[in-house]
Amino acid sequence: MALNDPLSNAMSKIMNAESVGKKEVVIKPCSNMIKTVLTILNEAGYVGSFKEVKDGKGDYLILNLLGRINKCGAIKPRFAVTLDDFEKFEKRFLLAKNFGILLVSTSQGVMTHNKAKEKKIGGKLLAYCY
């Protein structure tokens, strides 16, 4: 099985582990993008802390789950989004207004769609979580 998108793979693993009620999940391989996304999800209160384990052959992450995710996933293709487009994608990927977050890769780093709207910048959509 080819793993072409590590972020999508990680989000699927988190979703599957949440749905069966596990307390932690191993995410392999790990990248800086995945670590950034998990840090943002942690700050938003969707997942617990994570620790990186270096094993010499493609490090991995152990993520503590809190049982607070209803649905999460990577957004493919990575739509380019402008300041005016956020509402359209909120309606498409999130259940209700101010419920859940979209993760956006901007020129100032990865952030939630709310922070991107505050800073008045667009970017590319990476993932959603609610």
CATH of the domain at 109: 3.30.1490.10
Give the integer Cα–Cα distance in Å for 88 and 78: 15
Pick the last residue of a domain from 40, 65, 90.
65
Range of the domain at 113: 75-129
55 and 94 housed in the same domain? no
pLDDT tens across 68-127, in order?
999 999 999 999 999 999 999 999 999 998 899 999 999 999 999 999 999 999 999 999
Helix ranges (DSSP H) in the chain: 6-19, 32-43, 86-93, 113-119
Give the integer Cα–Cα distance in Å for 64 and 127: 19
Give the integer Cα–Cα distance in Å for 113 and 102: 5
**Structural domain contains residue 1:** no
Of the chain, the percentage scoring pLDDT greater than 70 comes to: 98
Q: Encoding tokens for residue 90? A: 């909120």
**Structural domain contains residue 70:** no
> What is the average pLDDT score of the chain?
94
pLDDT tens across 93-103, in order?
999 988 999 99
